[in-house]
Amino acid sequence: MLYKIVPALRAAMNASSLSFSESGQADVTLSGVTEDNAIEKVKAASLCGKASVAIDGLGVFTAKEAAEGRLSGKIAIVTGSAQGFGLGIAEEMIAQGANVVIADLNIDLAAKVADELCKKNGAGRAFACKVDVSDEASVEAMIEDTVKAFGGLDIFVNNAGVLKAGGLEEMDAKSFEFVTKINYEAYYFCAKYASRVMKLQHAVAPDKFYDIIQINSKSGLEGSNKNFAYAGGKFGGIGLTQSFALELVEFNIKVNSICPGNYYDGPLWSDPERGLFVQYLKAGKVPGAKTAADVKKFYEAKTPIKRGCMPLDVARAIFYIVEQEFETGQAVPVTGGQVMLN
């Protein structure tokens, strides 16, 4: 598989990203490269600064110029990024120089998003990939597709998640398992395969750092009434973050969680038909509220900063984590002060 060889080549070439073709001219040709000897082969070939390298049996890999910005030269995956919070995060990351994989179950929408991002930021800067994060084989295929598109991986943003609320008497086992599989188990799958690429790159370029970032929730910092499936998975996610951080630190892979407050402008809350503001209005959850806007104001007032969390707020936390080499295993709150650490 490409993802077991090409990231080592990218690191040896010191390339921000690589384009792939099955044939063509190259500055250097390597023969006899396998998954078992890829690290030794590329390290011995003095490839730093080479514009293109051919690997017999695989194809030709050509270095691409990096875009400018805080994430210049970085390759990133954002799961669940065809819409909502994930889309906003991907937009901010690509604007800061990253090449971004729009990984989503809705491949048609992901492809549309990637096309729009390329038109705005430059050809080849975004790539759409279908993934079911709850399926291990699908996650592995996503990593393979990413390496084929860009040559490696520097930042993995584990954003895909689901919410299904309900108390002990309302929640059924099937729903509980669904929420847990997406919000907890899928994080394990993604960290497993993302870290494989990063380890390869580290073996060739040991001074560089890589990041796995879980988009958690304020519900990972405090319990959530009648929402235990979601909060439990998010609490567990922070446990995974801390454990992965300890295991992967020797490879310069930092692992952190970001715990955002509520994204009130997103479809979960603001959808005019099914959004939580409308649901809470109909349920009479906010005394005296006459419109969905009244409900929104009530919830915005819960934060000292008096507004909901926005994708840019989370993106800035991502930039900090990537730039800060002396931090791992943390849960960074981005809640407007609604949840404060003890």
Q: What is the pLDDT of residues 53-111, one digit of tens each?
A: 999 999 999 999 999 999 999 999 999 999 999 999 999 999 999 999 999 999 999 99
* Interval 12-41 mean pLDDT: 95
Q: What single-letter amino acid sits at 79?
A: T
Q: What was the pLDDT predicted at 56?
A: 94
CATH 2.30.30.100 given to domain 75-261+312-334: no
Task: Indicate the pTM of the whole model.
Answer: 0.95
Instruction: Please give the backbone phi and psi of residue 252, each rounded to the nearest 5 degrees, phi first.
Output: 60, 30
From the list 83, 118, 119, the residue with the least C-alpha distance to 103 is 83
- Residue ranges matching CATH 3.40.50.720 in the chain: 75-261+312-334
Please answer whether residues 103 and 78 qualify as being in contact, where contact means their C-beta atoms are separated by less than 8 angstroms: yes
Report how many helices (DSSP H) and strands (DSSP E) the chain contains, helices first.
Answer: 12, 11
342 has pLDDT over 80: no
Q: Using the predicted structure, report yes or no on whether residue 1 has a pLDDT greater than 80.
A: no
Q: Which two tokens stand for residue 14?
A: 């010191």
Q: Which candidate, 340, 333, 288, 334, places its Cα nearest to that of 311?
A: 334
What is the predicted pLDDT for the residue at 208?
98
User: Are 293 and 339 in contact, with CB atoms under 8 Å apart?
Assistant: no
pLDDT at 108: 98
C-alpha 70/C-alpha 155 separation (Å) is 13
Torsion of CA 273, 110, 160, 93, to 10 degrees: -110
pLDDT for 166 beyond 90: no
pLDDT in tens, 167-203: 898 889 999 999 999 999 999 999 999 999 999 999 9
Residue 94, amino acid: I
| Residue 268: pLDDT band with limits 50, 70, 90 | confident
* Catalytic site residue from 187, 193, 230, 263: 230
Q: Is 230 designated active site?
A: yes
Q: What's the rounded Cα separation, in Å, for the pair 325 and 163?
A: 32
Closest by CA position to 290, among listed 303, 278, 308: 278
